[in-house]
Amino acid sequence: MNKKKAKLIFKHNYFEIIEEGDYVLCAISNKEIPLKDLNYWNVELQEAYFSAKEANEKFKLLNK
């Protein structure tokens, strides 16, 4: 089964699918995130995060 990377626009409470796909990549860990499991992202940076751990890492980097 071939998986395809999706292209999204992240909004505050949802995301818009610009190009259909199965996953997006985490901006911190580069792990694949299935769209059905995508819960963490940054609207301003338009980045997805695999989990709260990666989202917190990015927050700490931005607030040094």
Which pTM does this prediction carry? 0.92
For residue 50, the 8-state DSSP code is: S
pLDDT digits (tens, 9 = 90+) for 13-26: 999 999 999 999 99
The pLDDT > 70 percentage for the chain reads 98
CA dihedral sign, ordered 43, 37, 59, 26: negative
Give me the pLDDT at residue 2, please. 82
Give me the pLDDT at residue 55, please. 97
pLDDT digits (tens, 9 = 90+) for 28-49: 999 999 999 999 999 999 999 9
